[in-house]
Amino acid sequence: MNSSKSAASVFRRRRRTIIVLIFLAAGATLLYFLFFRTATLGPIAEKKRMAQLEAAKPHYELKAFESDGCSFNISQGWSTSVKGLSKISPAIAERYANAENIPFEEACIQHDKIYHKGEGGYGRRLQADNALRAEIISYGINNTEEIKRRTNLSTNEEAIFLYETIAEAVYYAVRVGGAPCTGMPYAWGFGYGSGVCTSP
């Protein structure tokens, strides 16, 4: 009887952890939308911005590629959190040893490379965003043991679901905030005029 109560308690804690993570991801996406009103949410609005970007490109020289990893300070926040928490918790220091960078940062850099030039219009941007989402999910599927060790989740399914949730939040954030001509340093075509589609 005690073992079934213990198992139920562990299940409730794990479920609570996953629910909190989902709400955090959803909250971050909502805040992102609320604070970036220049975002586009549909193909018609985006088509106009794509045309504006193409008209602006001849007025700018393509800047050398630079990436901040996963944009909107996600990479920086990860690194800062891991370093800070590792100083105060030996358990976190042990679990996140050799994980100062966000695990799927290379996928974000590849995504940035496509966004840098901003070529191919709406369809190409959609492909890039879907590829980023797929890479994050693949990381979850291919690294379940590492994820479980770091998060104290006990099943492969929970580990994959965590990264599936992260992937969805990242996907919607880049769909909403990554459109061209927002003036953001991660806008589609940011290599031309830093994401601002006006003539210099």
CA–CA distance from 72 to each of 31, 64, 162 (Å)? 12, 20, 20
DSSP 192: T
Residue 116 corresponds to which tokens in the numbers above?
């840098």
Q: In the prediction, which pLDDT does 7 show?
A: 62
Which stretches in the chain have pLDDT values below 70? Answer: 1-41, 72, 200
Mark residue 95 as left, alpha or beta (left: phi above 0; alpha: psi -120 to 50; beta: remaining).
alpha
Q: In the prediction, which pLDDT does 53 show?
A: 95
List own/partner pairs for 152-155 with CB under 8 A and 24 or more apart.
Answer: 153/14, 153/17, 153/18, 154/10, 154/14
Using one digit for the tens of pLDDT, what is the confidence trace for 18-49? 666 666 666 655 555 554 445 556 889 899 99
Cβ atoms of 180 and 37 closer than 8 Å:
no
Mean predicted lDDT score pLDDT of the chain: 84
Cβ atoms of 116 and 106 closer than 8 Å:
no
Quote the pTM value. 0.78
Q: Which residues of 48-58 are buried (b: 16+ CB within 10 A; e: fewer)?
A: ebbeebbebbe
Identity of the amino acid at 167:
A
Query: Which residue reads 């100083």 in tokens?
Result: 87
End-to-end CA distance of the chain: 73
Q: In the prediction, which pLDDT does 167 show?
A: 94
